[in-house]
Amino acid sequence: MSAEAGTPGVGDEQLAAELRRVLLVSSRVLRSHTASDEVSASQYSVLAYLERSGESTPGALASFEHVSPPVMTRILARLEEAGLVARSAHPQDGRQVLVSLTATGSELVRRGREERDEWLRGRIGEITDEERRTLGEAVAILRRTLVGPR
């Protein structure tokens, strides 16, 4: 964050622009720190979603990822071919399928999170105690402002 954006009295427009830049860059950096070169960032995102949700329909995954159904079909085909997801019949709707993680997919997500957490711990280990407290406060503000309640 620039010194100017970190000073009191900075306008909302400037603060929003700086926050957007920092979030975009940090998101790209975090995505680059995954435990596997075998999946793309969007494929990893689908795996992580499935890890959190347990299972999902391809349509819900496409909506979550903001991609078209044909794009999601290709992503899922690659993940299934790699043994990272499995498809099963939907219990209430015979026209639908459910997608879930395999044990291999779950392990890949776990390793990816560990790698990113390790990288972040290393970066946090380089800052002062005061900066660490400020960062903790910033995380709480970002969660409340951008993420909302879970």
pLDDT per position as a tens digit, 13-57: 999 999 999 999 988 888 887 756 788 888 999 999 999 998 999
pLDDT at residue 1 greater than cutoff 60: no
pLDDT at position 120: 93
The identity of residue 27, as a single letter, is S
Per CATH, which fold does 33-147 belong to?
Arc Repressor Mutant, subunit A (1.10.10)
What are the boundaries of each domain within the chain?
33-147
pLDDT at residue 3 greater than cutoff 60: no
Q: Is the distance from CB of 15 to CB of 5 less than 8 angstroms? A: yes
Both tokens assigned to 11: 């306008």
Q: How confident is the model at residue 2 (pLDDT cuts 50, 70, 90)?
A: very low
Both tokens assigned to 25: 């860059």
Digit-coded pLDDT (tens) for 83-139:
999 999 878 877 889 999 999 999 999 998 898 899 999 999 999 999 999 999 999
pLDDT at position 108: 93
Cα(141)–Cα(139) distance, rounded to whole angstroms?
Answer: 5
**Residue 7 or 136, more confident:** 136
Strands (E), the chain: 55-56, 85-89, 97-101
pLDDT at position 36: 66
With vertex at residue 46, the alpha carbon angle to CA 138 and CA 98, rounded to the nearest 5 degrees, is: 135
Spacing of C-alpha 129 from chain mean position: 27
pLDDT at position 6: 52
